[in-house]
Structure 1
Amino acid sequence: MLKNTDIEIITSIKTLLATSKKKLVIIPHENPDGDAIGSALGLGQVLADFGHEVKVLSANDYPVFLKWFSSDVPVIIYDKDKKKAKSWLNQADAMICVDFNEAKRAGKLEKKILEFGHKKVLIDHHPYPTQFCDFMVSETSYSSTAELVFDVLEATGLNENLSQKAAEALYTGILTDTGGFSHNISKNTFKVVSGLLNYEINTDKIQSSVFHNYSADRMKLLGYCLNEKMQVFPEYRAAVISISKEELKRFNFQPGDTEGFVNYPLSIKNIVFSALFIEKDGYVKASFRSKGNFPANKFSSSHFNGGGHLNAAGGESELNFEKTLLKFTQLLPEYKHQLLETTI
């Protein structure tokens, strides 16, 4: 149910996308995860089947374990082919941004998005959106952007073009952003999933492709992190994993290899807050997960220039790797009472 989107917005999107055929570009956020690429390809497939010429444009590459989709919508990687990306941006009649709500989350494509001269549509489920698109569908009650895309397609009548290929991609987006249907789910989530199952998608294959398709190096990195790099603070019901650039190199890191690492400490009895810090060039990437009513998003926005959902947030630090980790551990006493009082 689209609770926060005016009917005028839906009507405008329907007029833009469900009438004449156009050239469209769909942009997910930088470092696309399952929801970002699943939403982009699922929506793109529907629009292509309607008759539009569609290309997905990503700032950088996405994980190997998300490259099995049967969708025939092409994906242009800006990092690898700037000429082709710029050419399509120049040709496109409209732009659709999925799974992010401020232009900077698209990384190197931020400027291209802001400078785009035609109509722009946003479809996203993250809180606190910024106004950078003409038509914004921002619904924070949704488990995932993929779930939201399904309802937008239904509201605009474009769901008549939904196919098995599109359903497969949208199901993957929901599956990954809910951690295998373990969090952020609602009645509507299962209603949408039920609708996607009508297209005879192979859920066993999708589950295996997403969760059982890692490299040996990734598994070794995970084992190393849990054994050597995880610190547990039972007095604060918290835990943290930290990974340096040197450690990533040692385990032949590939994009997506650390996906889900931040969730593992939450499997420990009585732990309600988990953090993951990864050293990058010039900054430290931060991920936060929580249980119950502890606000990972507020913690991130207050201290690590980030934000997100109540139980899943991200951010970054401009401090060096060691000082960032120290900052996190020094913040825990400030939240001790709140963490101890968190109910799960």
Structure 2
Amino acid sequence: MKPILELLPLLSRPRQIAIIMHQKPDADAMGSSLALFHYFQLKHHQVAVVSPTLYPDFLKWMPGAKEVIIYELHPEKATEALQKAEIIFCMDFNAFHRARPADAALAQSAGIKVIIDHHLQPEPVFEYGLSDVQASSTAELVYEVIIGWGDKSLINNEIAQCIYAGTMTDTGSFRFAATSARVHRMVADLMEHGLRHEPIHQAIYDNFLENRLRFLGYVLSNRMEVFYEYNAALITVPASDVRKFNLSSGDTEGLVNYPLSIQGIKLSALMVENHQEIRISLRSKGDFDVNEFARKYFNGGGHLNAAGGRSTDSLEATVARFKKALEENKALLEKPLKNP
């Protein structure tokens, strides 16, 4: 894979560009994609943004969100955008299957594939890219790419809002270990140039319906199991709960983090049953590697302390597999967390 800086000569004249994010996009996937979208528009390229699936309602405020083509709603339009593109930017994912159900259209498109991502072990399917596992977020990398291409002056308020939203959420409001000095320097720079951070926080975290709050109370009381012998916890959300509380895309966002507030818990898992599949989110503290845990047991991956996976087994069978995995990793989970 060639460094993304070497792509610059190809962008010296207007191009047909497509930007695609991973399925079930979070604020980082949306923010990094839309920041790049606004940047390329300022450079007079023809740009289309594709999301494989619907994105959460709390991201609809993002500048440019209405321009995103949803593949699962408009597959022909999204496929056409990918087929016409001379260059395709793959944002916040490192393997084509993470773009399901648009993965086949992506793989079959003739455009140059470019990755901007911060996940471990990218697949060798990209011709150019920036893959930095030390970065807090893909949004942070977009900021650095724009600067690296010599266009810092083009970072306007729309781009800054998208970058901030992606970085804020992927760092857990700047509390995760990936919140480096370079993150704070970037945010300071954005704020010095006029970014207002409070409205973005409110738009993302204070913008849910009543049913979501009632769901949180219910699920924490009735669907959370704590395994103190493994310093782990599990929350399960069966399809019946999804229907009962009329959950929308994004309503389970952040739920996996709640058990980590329990003293001594170093591994938290969330399983959500939907569309004949169990979607699994994993979070950890310290040196317990949920990236490897997800890859080994749940056909997934991610970061050291944040990863995801999936299962096509029943919810009961998937829970049983998780409990067996806890036993196999007991020695690692028993290690106490280091004090500050």
TM-score bracket, shorter-length normalisation: over 0.9
The alignment's TM-score, normalised by the length of structure 1, stands at 0.94
Q: Give SS of 2:134's match.
A: coil
- Per the alignment, residue 172 of structure 2 pairs with 179
Contact 2:4 2:129 in 1 (8 A): no
Q: Give SS of 2:163's match.
A: helix
Superposed CA deviations along residues 299-334 of structure 1, whole A, max 9, x for unmatched, are: 111111111101001011222111111221232222
How many Å apart are 1:72 and its aligned residue? 7.3
- Per the alignment, residue 103 of structure 2 pairs with 110
Instruction: Indicate whether 1:15 and 2:26 are aligned.
Output: no
- Per the alignment, residue 35 of structure 2 pairs with 42
Q: 1:215 aligns with which of 209, 212, 216?
A: 209
Q: 1:225 aligns with which of 219, 223, 227?
A: 219
Following the alignment from structure 2 to structure 1, what is the Cα–Cα distance between the partners of residues 45 and 186? Answer: 24
Q: Give SS of 1:231's match.
A: strand
Contact 2:83 2:110 in 1 (8 A): no
- Per the alignment, residue 275 of structure 2 pairs with 281
- Per the alignment, residue 139 of structure 2 pairs with 146
Following the alignment from structure 2 to structure 1, what is the Cα–Cα distance between the partners of residues 127 and 103? Answer: 16
Contact 1:39 1:149 in 2 (8 A): yes
Q: Which 10-residue stretch deviates more, 187-196 or 105-114?
A: 187-196
- Per the alignment, residue 298 of structure 2 pairs with 304
- Per the alignment, residue 135 of structure 1 pairs with 128
Contact 2:288 2:304 in 1 (8 A): yes
Superposed CA deviations along residues 152-204 of structure 1, whole A, max 9, x for unmatched, are: 11111233321110010010000011111111211111122122223312100
- Per the alignment, residue 314 of structure 1 pairs with 308
Following the alignment from structure 1 to structure 2, what is the Cα–Cα distance between the partners of residues 128 and 72? Answer: 29
Q: 1:200 aligns with which of 171, 177, 194?
A: 194
How many Å apart are 1:114 and its aligned residue? 1.0
Q: 2:54 aligns with which of 56, 61, 64?
A: 61
Following the alignment from structure 1 to structure 2, what is the Cα–Cα distance between the partners of residues 185 and 60? Answer: 29
Contact 1:46 1:159 in 2 (8 A): no
Following the alignment from structure 1 to structure 2, what is the Cα–Cα distance between the partners of residues 143 and 157? Answer: 22
Following the alignment from structure 2 to structure 1, what is the Cα–Cα distance between the partners of residues 259 and 3? Answer: 41
- Per the alignment, residue 332 of structure 1 pairs with 326
How many Å apart are 1:73 and its aligned residue? 7.4
Aligned residues: 337
Change (3 A) 1:116 1:15: same
Q: Which 10-residue stretch deviates more, 67-76 or 109-118?
A: 67-76
Q: Which runs of 5+ in 1 are unaligned?
A: none
Following the alignment from structure 1 to structure 2, what is the Cα–Cα distance between the partners of residues 78 and 145? Answer: 21
Following the alignment from structure 2 to structure 1, what is the Cα–Cα distance between the partners of residues 104 and 313? Answer: 26
Q: Which 10-residue stretch deviates more, 80-89 or 236-245?
A: 80-89
Following the alignment from structure 1 to structure 2, what is the Cα–Cα distance between the partners of residues 73 and 133? Answer: 28
Q: Report the AA paired with residue 230 of structure 1.
A: M
Q: 2:160 aligns with which of 167, 173, 197?
A: 167
Q: 2:45 aligns with which of 41, 44, 52?
A: 52
Q: Report the AA paired with residue 67 of structure 1.
A: K
RMSD of the TM alignment (CA)?
A: 1.5
Q: Give SS of 1:157's match.
A: coil
Following the alignment from structure 2 to structure 1, what is the Cα–Cα distance between the partners of residues 330 and 268? Answer: 14
Q: Give SS of 2:161's match.
A: helix
Contact 2:264 2:337 in 1 (8 A): no
Change (3 A) 1:71 1:317: closer
Change (3 A) 1:72 1:144: closer
Contact 2:60 2:66 in 1 (8 A): no
Q: Give SS of 2:102's match.
A: helix
Q: Report the AA paired with residue 313 of structure 1.
A: A
Contact 1:44 1:73 in 2 (8 A): no
The alignment's TM-score, normalised by the length of structure 2, stands at 0.95
Q: Which runs of 5+ in 2 are unaligned?
A: none
- Per the alignment, residue 262 of structure 1 pairs with 256
Q: Report the AA paired with residue 214 of structure 1.
A: F
Following the alignment from structure 2 to structure 1, what is the Cα–Cα distance between the partners of residues 204 and 310? Answer: 26
Following the alignment from structure 1 to structure 2, what is the Cα–Cα distance between the partners of residues 11 and 278? Answer: 40
Q: Which 10-residue stretch deviates more, 278-287 or 82-91?
A: 82-91
Identity rate, percent: 38
How many Å apart are 1:67 and its aligned residue? 0.7
